[in-house]
């Protein structure tokens, strides 16, 4: 039976394919937006970490330099070599401990793109 001129036609194969295409495009756009957000968060986190590390390093270096100079000047006449040796040993141990902490921090950081990967896995499960 032919449809009347004013009645809407029933959806056909091309309409279904167009809807499927729009849905797939919207899904892909959402996943790309999640990925972009995670990239931006990671960039900000790395920049903050770098600034904090630089500031801490500068302050600690200045404090250490002045403290060692003060101690060496105070003990110049009696124990200058022992004082310098103790300062070297202390800072060597502190440097090794700092390196170990930094390696641990880098190994235990959150997995990059975890939300994006999680969403893609959910999509895969739903499609099965």
For the chain, the structural domain boundaries read 13-127
Helix H or strand E encompassing 81: helix 80-107
User: What does the pLDDT read at residue 50?
Assistant: 93
Indicate the pLDDT class of residue 54, thresholds 50, 70 and 90.
very high
The answer to whether the CB of 71 falls within 8 A of the CB of 83 is yes
Q: State percent of the chain over pLDDT 70.
A: 89
Mean pLDDT of the chain: 83
For residues 119 and 29, give the distance between their C-alpha atoms in angstroms, rounded to a whole number: 12
Collapsed DSSP state (helix, strand, coil) of residue 12: coil
Whether pLDDT at 51 is above 60: yes
Residue 111 φ then ψ, to 5°: -65, 130
- What DSSP line would sit under 61-73, residue for residue? HHHHHHHHHHHHH
User: What does the pLDDT read at residue 31?
Assistant: 84
Whether pLDDT at 2 is above 70: no
Whether pLDDT at 91 is above 80: yes
- Please give the average per-residue pLDDT across 98-116, as a whole number: 82
């Amino acid at each position: 039976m032919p449809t009347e001129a004013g009645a809407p036609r029933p959806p056909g194969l091309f309409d279904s394919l167009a809807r499927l295409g729009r849905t797939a495009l919207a899904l892909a756009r959402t996943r790309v937006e999640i990925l972009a957000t995670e990239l931006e968060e990671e960039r900000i986190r790395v920049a903050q970490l770098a600034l904090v590390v630089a500031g801490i390093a500068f302050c600690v270096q200045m404090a250490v330099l002045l403290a060692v100079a003060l101690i060496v000047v105070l003990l110049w006449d009696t124990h200058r070599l022992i004082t310098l040796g103790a300062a070297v040993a202390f800072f060597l141990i502190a440097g090794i401990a700092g390196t170990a902490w930094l390696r641990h921090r880098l190994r235990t950081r959150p997995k990059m793109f975890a939300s994006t990967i999680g969403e893609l896995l959910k999509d895969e499960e739903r499609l099965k």
